[in-house]
Amino acid sequence: MKIVVLERNSVGTDIDVSAFERFGEVEYYANTYRPEDVAERTADADIIIANKAPMNRQTLTGSKKVRYIGEFATGYDNIDLEYCKERGIRVCNVVNYSTAMVAQTTITLALALTMKLIHYDNYVKSGEYASQERFSNFDVPFNELDGKTWGIVGMGNIGSRVAKVASALGCRVITASVTGRKRDTGYEQVGKETLLKESDIISLHCPLTDLSRRYIDAGAFGMMKKTAILINVARGPVVDNLALYEALRDGKIAAAGLDVLEKEPLSKDDPLGLIKDSGKLIITPHLAWASVEARTRCVEENVLNLEAFLEGRSRCVVC
């Protein structure tokens, strides 16, 4: 049996992936982006382990032996599920492996923006603090989270974890569902418009679907408080980048913290790159999932998924 790991480096070269080798011959590729490379590298594969590489009719038609695709991720929008069903190819992802880290990143971004931490760190390191006479400086106003309303879109594992932390910090938590379906989450569920109008902080934790694509657009920014902070750790296209840039430029909202973008990495023509004020915008390079612990779990869960498949058991099956 031949196993092809198309994007070995996507989990980091510091993480051991050799456990796959107990199942058969393994061929590793650091990264695989181009459809033609996917087709060539999987031509005689039985098992594919991927992350963002396109898995569809174009790339897999010639890969006649493939019967399993494992994802180094929770999201699987790179995979054509209908085609895989047609071919009888099992697809498995990993879930909950990065919940703690993504929740931690969400809270970190909210705290950094609320407290203007980067401004004050720069103030001290610039030497300005050492040259002043007073013991304290608070030239840029900052705020507490206690008593604020935190709106959460998407109450899966990550959204639920964020809700617990936000509540512990004294926030009133409200939630909205992209689909509009009612769920008993233990927190107040409201409509989208209410969440946009009432929230001081909005964090996004929903999957990317036709319903969630550009869920936060120019119209949404028009309903938000001018003091609101937006946090996106879901998928980039859930937010309209141009509309966000205009909202920040025009003061429609106070700030945003992003770990995901419509196009990754950040393209040179993306208007968000024009905003250099870290008190208004913090962008991290899609790292919220990538703690050492989370990446280790990602590999371990993939190994367990493959083991289950080979033994005829269902585990984390997408299709």
At residue 134, the pLDDT reads 95
Band of pLDDT at residue 130, cut at 50, 70 and 90 = very high
Considering 183, 264, 293, 313, which one is annotated as catalytic?
264
Q: Lowest mean pLDDT: which of 58-62, 75-79, 157-161, 212-216?
A: 75-79
At residue 183, the pLDDT reads 87
Average pLDDT, the chain: 97
Active site residue 264: yes
* Residues whose CB falls within 8 Å of the CB of residue 104, separated by 6 or more in sequence, listed in order: none
Q: Say if CB 154 and CB 234 are below 8 A apart.
A: yes
Is it the case that residue 316 has pLDDT exceeding 90? yes
At residue 190, the pLDDT reads 97
Residue type, 271: P
Q: What is the DSSP string of 67-132?
A: -EEEESSS--TTB-HHHHHHHT-EEE---SSSHHHHHHHHHHHHHHHHHTHHHHHHHHHTTHHHH-
Q: What φ, ψ does residue 69 adopt, rounded to 5°?
A: -125, 125
Q: In this predicted model, what pLDDT tens digit does every residue of 39-65 receive, in sequence order?
A: 999 999 999 999 999 999 999 999 999
Inter-CA distances, 150 with 35, 51, 241, 260, Å? 41, 32, 22, 20
Give the domain ranges of the chain: 2-97+292-310, 99-283
Q: Say if CB 53 and CB 76 are below 8 A apart.
A: no
Architecture of domain 99-283: 3-Layer(aba) Sandwich (3.40)
How far is Cα 305 from Cα 193, in angstroms, rounded to an integer? 40
Considering 67, 172, 214, 286, which one is annotated as catalytic?
286
How far is Cα 189 from Cα 175, in angstroms, rounded to an integer? 5
Q: In this predicted model, what pLDDT tens digit does every residue of 238-271 receive, in sequence order?
A: 999 999 999 999 999 999 999 999 999 999 999 9
Average pLDDT over residues 9-21: 98
Active site residue 205: no
Band of pLDDT at residue 4, cut at 50, 70 and 90 = very high
At residue 75, the pLDDT reads 87
At residue 289, the pLDDT reads 96
Q: In this predicted model, what pLDDT tens digit does every residue of 278-309 receive, in sequence order?
A: 999 999 999 999 999 999 999 999 999 999 99
Considering 41, 90, 161, 235, which one is annotated as catalytic?
235
Choosing among 3.30.365.10, 3.40.50.720, 3.40.50.300, 2.60.40.2300, the CATH entry for 2-97+292-310 is 3.40.50.720
What pTM value is reported for the model? 0.91
How far is Cα 149 from Cα 199, in angstroms, rounded to an integer? 5
Average pLDDT over residues 105-123: 97
* Common-topology check for domains 2-97+292-310 and 99-283: yes
Q: In this predicted model, what pLDDT tens digit does every residue of 179-218 receive, in sequence order?
A: 999 989 999 999 999 999 999 999 999 999 999 999 999 9
Average pLDDT over residues 9-35: 98
How far is Cα 201 from Cα 58, in angstroms, rounded to an integer? 42
Tell how far CA 1 is from the center of its chain: 33
Q: Say if CB 279 and CB 305 are below 8 A apart.
A: no
How far is Cα 112 from Cα 114, in angstroms, rounded to an integer? 6
Is it the case that residue 168 has pLDDT exceeding 90? yes
Question: Which among 258, 211, 264 is positioned nearest to 78, based on CA atoms?
Answer: 264
